[in-house]
Amino acid sequence: MDWLWAAIRWVHLLAAMTWIGGQLFLVLVLLPVLRRTLPSAQRTLLVAQLGGRFAVVGWIALALLVVTGFLNGERRGVAWESLPAAQSTYGQVLFAKLCLVAVVIALTFLHSQIFGPRLTRLATQAADNDPQAEAYRRRLARLSAIVSVINLLLNLVIVYLAARLVS
């Protein structure tokens, strides 16, 4: 039965690599290149298409992380109902990690379901040459970028907390 738990941990790690690796690639590699090479409206449309594709992969990875994380906790005998009042370092770290996971899921939803579609709509309407609409699109794009970076940083903290759990 050890092979099953090893497979569950493997899926958990693979999902984390996919989720965070994709974010790192987008933020550190793709977006800086696109900023230098494409006009703002074209960049927004391309990022929307890439983001839409990554969203599918990302939501699958997040779902796998939640399910396999729960299974790993069950394997370790985590008392979920008493976790907020945990006295052990393991329980406190796990609770902090789960709180951050909830924030990451909320930010991911905000980014993919609200900011992304609005930015795409505004970019497709960019041909109207409306200065107010363009100013709004730029502010929304800046806010979207800030949310993305915060999301990535929180994910890196989650990985650090995960490393503390296995020590």
CA–chain centroid gap for 58, Å, is 7
CA–chain centroid gap for 102, Å, is 11
pLDDT tens column, 115-158: 988 888 887 776 566 788 778 888 998 899 899 999 999 999 99
132's tokens: 């107010």
pLDDT tens column, 26-69: 999 999 999 999 987 788 888 888 888 999 999 999 999 999 99
Domain chopping of the chain, boundaries: 2-165
The predicted model scores a pTM of: 0.89
> What is the three-class DSSP state of 54?
helix
